[in-house]
């Protein structure tokens, strides 16, 4: 028996999905919507440093070759793997399980974070209307609004991350096209500047000369002997 943990997006779970995992003896645990940034170990302690380390490796690679070398798909693993090993260290993995309250099992770690934020929100609301007592319906509405704002905040950060990855991808595509053109220009210029190697001719006394195959070979042999 195995366990699969996924987020609560509606598109992830359907009849065929559940039947497949039931047939293969896999338990499916679905997180509440917009909660993986607090409940999923990968999101809490691993994906963020992985993105940071990979970006650093990519920046260092581009700086090293001064954008004169095209970044290819075959280069991806050499940049990704060191970042993965650094991000997915034993200490980070243990920290991810601990911060989500999964191992050691302690749900209060996550619940206290939510409670603290809700208390801070309530305190701010109380200070802005110190003489006003919140009714139960108003408090429920406040909690609902808080949940919505938390979801928006997470979505905003996630959109920033996606935008950064897209920017990196576009930047790499532009660099690839620029580098290709630059290398072709350099090759062309090198071919243009490469001097032709003149064949040293024997002293002639003027007049017409017929270069028979034997005469040309004799000139080659004489030049080769002088160059030794």
* pLDDT tens-place string over residues 143-188: 677 666 666 666 667 677 777 777 777 777 777 777 777 777 677 6
Two tokens at 119? 């208390």
E strands present in the chain: 2-6, 26-30
Two tokens at 198? 């003149």
Contact 99, 44 (CB under 8 A): yes
- In angstroms, rounded to a whole number, what is the distance separating the alpha carbons of residues 72 and 70? 6
- In angstroms, rounded to a whole number, what is the distance separating the alpha carbons of residues 172 and 174? 5
pLDDT tens, residue by residue, 106-122: 988 888 887 666 666 66
Two tokens at 71? 């970044």
- In angstroms, rounded to a whole number, what is the distance separating the alpha carbons of residues 84 and 46? 9
Of 105, 5, 89, nearest to 49 by C-alpha is 89
Two tokens at 101? 């309250």
Q: 199: pLDDT confidence band, cut at 50, 70 and 90?
A: low
The whole-number pLDDT of residue 131 equals: 47
Percentage of residues in the chain with pLDDT exceeding 70?
69
- In angstroms, rounded to a whole number, what is the distance separating the alpha carbons of residues 104 and 190? 65
Q: Provide mean pLDDT across the span 127-154.
A: 63
Q: What is the mean pLDDT of the chain?
A: 77
- In angstroms, rounded to a whole number, what is the distance separating the alpha carbons of residues 118 and 95? 25
In this prediction the pTM is 0.46
Q: 15: pLDDT confidence band, cut at 50, 70 and 90?
A: confident
Does the CA dihedral 70-73-74-76 come out positive or negative? Answer: positive
**What angle is formed at CA 23 by the lines to CA 18 and CA 25, rounded to 5 degrees?**
95
Residue 97: pLDDT over 90: yes
The whole-number pLDDT of residue 98 equals: 94
């Amino acid at each position: 028996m195995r366990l699969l943990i996924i987020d609560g997006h509606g598109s992830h779970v359907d009849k065929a999905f559940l039947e497949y995992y039931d047939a293969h003896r896999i338990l499916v645990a679905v997180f509440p919507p917009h909660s993986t940034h607090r409940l999923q170990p990968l999101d809490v302690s691993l994906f963020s440093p992985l993105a940071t380390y990979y970006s650093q490796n990519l920046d260092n690679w581009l700086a090293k070759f001064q954008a004169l070398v095209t970044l290819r798909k075959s280069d991806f693993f050499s940049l990704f793997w060191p970042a993965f090993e650094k991000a997915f260290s034993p200490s980070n993995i243990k920290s991810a399980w601990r911060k989500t309250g999964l191992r050691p099992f302690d749900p209060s770690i996550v619940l206290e974070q939510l409670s603290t934020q809700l208390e801070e929100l309530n305190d701010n609301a109380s200070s802005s209307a110190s003489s006003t007592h919140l009714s139960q319906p108003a408090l429920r509405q406040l909690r609902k609004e808080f949940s919505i704002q938390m979801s928006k905040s997470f979505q905003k950060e996630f959109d920033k991350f996606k935008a950064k990855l897209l920017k990196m991808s576009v930047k790499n595509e532009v660099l690839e096209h620029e580098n290709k053109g630059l290398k072709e220009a350099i090759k062309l210029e090198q071919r243009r500047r490469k001097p032709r190697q003149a064949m040293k001719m024997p002293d002639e006394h003027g007049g017409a000369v017929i270069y028979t195959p034997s005469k040309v070979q004799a000139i080659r042999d004489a030049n080769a002997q002088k160059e030794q």
